[in-house]
């Protein structure tokens, strides 16, 4: 297996172009390097779920991003094991995308000797195993600066739609490798909504999972069973008192309902599946509410599964409202083009979903502002 595909297209093309001319500042570059001498850890801010050991972060949920700030002309980061596509941003601008970077140290350099922010974001989904980010480092000539986390926090809980499964694919037909390569969570609706409000975000989503049943009756934790843990292996419960989202957006049910029951599954009839789905979705939202007393909760759906997801989620919201839940909205969406891999939302659909969620957030009473 080729573990060493490093795409530095942007930066290398930029360097080649400027080499022919004169003292124009060359574009930032990202290159693998030996461990820098006397490197010191540059503290990172991480909104997403990780397991931290010294400066290393193990992560598996999608949408992870690592932020740091410094004063100087360059900075380093370390990539640990695990297949991943990473985007490197300096001062909010992408400078490189690394597909399956080899474990080791990377230098980001060639920018003005002044204050900068750097972000490493993971684009891909890693159900097969966790990834490791080895942290940021700086050496002589660079001065660390603190990162100030944004006050706003938003959490997205869901399935492949929230992951951004195959959202950049030009075709609906995709191999597993193509799904992996065309999944870009940074272009999914969650990070788009978070960016609109300049909010920190978590993407707690797993492709193929539902509330009680996974796609085609496949094995694995349904989302509410995976949700309490930092990684998908249940090795450690996730707990971070600083994560107090003001908005929680949930979309589940696609995988419970888009495939027929197989003989031998635990539900004999569609009615049994519906009853189980409703009571477990209600319980899951109640457990989120118990930990996030003030959060505004949005449940949204597509019109897939011949309307079954929408009608079932609508019942869940009604049951919650009947039980006294007031800070909740239901947003059913119709007419998405679903031209990503295997009829999944495309990046254009992601824009439409983001717009609908922004309308709901702006139109409801949330701690981010009243209508």
Instruction: Tell me the closest approach of the beta carbon of residue 271 to its own copies, in angstroms.
Output: 11
**Full strand arrangement of the beta sheet holding 200-205:** 200-205, 153-158, 247-251, 296-301, 328-332
Angle at 117 between CA 26 and CA 149, to 5 degrees: 165
CA 311, CA 303: separation in Å to the nearest integer? 9
By CB under 8 A, name the one of 21, 262, 322, 370 that touches its own copies: 262
Instruction: Tell me the closest approach of the beta carbon of residue 221 to its own copies, in angstroms.
Output: 13
Strand partners, 307: none
CA 230, CA 235: separation in Å to the nearest integer? 8
Site membership for its own copies, residue 252 (CB under 8 A) = no
Site membership for its own copies, residue 332 (CB under 8 A) = no
Find the part of the chain contacting its own copies (CB under 8 A) among 27-35, 227-235, 241-249, 298-306. Answer: 298-306
Interactions with its own copies, residue window 200-219 (CB under 8 A)? 216-219
By CB under 8 A, name the one of 22, 176, 198, 271 that touches its own copies: 176
Site membership for its own copies, residue 234 (CB under 8 A) = no
Interactions with its own copies, residue window 138-157 (CB under 8 A)? none
Instruction: Tell me the closest approach of the beta carbon of residue 258 to its own copies, in angstroms.
Output: 5
C-beta closer to its own copies: residue 286 or 306:
306
Sequence-ordered list of residues with C-beta below 8 angstroms from that of 12, at least 6 positions apart, any chain: 29
Instruction: Tell me the closest approach of the beta carbon of residue 61 to its own copies, in angstroms.
Output: 20
Site membership for its own copies, residue 173 (CB under 8 A) = yes
Q: Give the count of alpha carbons within 13 A of 93, CB side only.
A: 10
Site membership for its own copies, residue 81 (CB under 8 A) = no
CA dihedral 365, 298, 277, 187 (to 10 degrees): -170
C-beta closer to its own copies: residue 326 or 334:
334
Site string for its own copies, 339-368 (x = CB under 8 A): ---xx-------------------------
Catalytic residue among 11, 126, 160, 186: 160
Residue for token digits 């990172």? Answer: 44
Q: Are 178 and 165 in contact (CB under 8 A)?
A: no
Site membership for its own copies, residue 232 (CB under 8 A) = no
State yes or no: is 360 an active-site residue: no
b/e for 81-102, b at 16 or more Cβ within 10 A?
ebbbbbbbbbeeeebbbbbbbe
C-beta closer to its own copies: residue 81 or 220:
220
Sequence-ordered list of residues with C-beta below 8 angstroms from that of 304, at least 6 positions apart, any chain: 254, 257, 258, 338, 343
Report how far Cα 187 is from the mean position of its chain's Cα atoms. Answer: 9
Provide the annotated active-site residues. 160
Catalog residues that contact its own copies under the rule CB under 8 A: 172-173, 175-176, 216-220, 257-264, 269-270, 302-306, 308, 334-338, 342-343
């Amino acid at each position: 297996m080729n573990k060493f595909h490093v795409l530095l297209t942007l930066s290398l093309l930029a360097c080649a172009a400027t080499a022919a001319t004169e003292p124009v500042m060359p574009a930032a570059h990202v290159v693998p390097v030996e461990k820098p001498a006397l490197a010191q850890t540059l503290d990172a801010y991480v909104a997403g779920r990780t397991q931290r050991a010294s400066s290393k972060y193990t992560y598996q949920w999608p949408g992870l991003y690592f932020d740091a700030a410094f004063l100087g002309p360059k900075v380093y980061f370390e990539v640990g094991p695990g297949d991943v596509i990473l985007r490197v941003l300096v001062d909010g601008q992408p400078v490189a995308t690394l597909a399956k970077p080899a474990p080791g140290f990377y230098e980001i350099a060639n920018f003005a000797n002044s204050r900068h922010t750097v972000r490493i974001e993971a684009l891909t989904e890693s159900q097969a195993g966790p990834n490791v980010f080895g942290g940021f480092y700086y050496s002589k000539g660079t001065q660390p600066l603190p990162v100030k986390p944004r006050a706003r926090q938003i959490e997205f809980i869901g399935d492949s739609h929230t992951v951004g499964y195959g959202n950049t694919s030009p075709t609906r037909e995709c191999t597993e490798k193509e799904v992996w390569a065309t999944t870009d969570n940074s272009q999914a609706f969650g990070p788009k909504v978070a960016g609109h409000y300049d909010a920190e975000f978590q993407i707690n989503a797993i492709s193929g999972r539902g509330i009680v049943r996974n796609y085609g009756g496949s094995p694995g934790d349904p989302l509410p069973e995976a949700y309490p843990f930092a990684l998908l292996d249940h090795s450690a419960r996730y707990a971070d008192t600083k994560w107090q989202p003001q908005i929680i957006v949930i979309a589940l049910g696609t995988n419970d309902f888009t495939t027929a029951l197989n003989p031998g599954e635990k539900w004999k009839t569609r009615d049994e599946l519906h009853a189980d789905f409703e009571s477990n979705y209600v319980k899951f939202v109640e457990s989120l509410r118990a930990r996030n007393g003030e959060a505004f909760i949005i449940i949204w759906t597509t019109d897939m599964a011949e309307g079954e997801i929408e009608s079932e989620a609508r019942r869940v919201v009604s049951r919650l409202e009947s039980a006294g839940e007031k800070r909740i909205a239901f947003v059913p969406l119709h007419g998405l083009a679903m031209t990503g891999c295997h009829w999944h939302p495309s990046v254009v659909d992601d824009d439409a979903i983001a717009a609908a969620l922004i309308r709901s957030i702006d139109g409801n009473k949330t701690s981010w502002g009243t209508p």
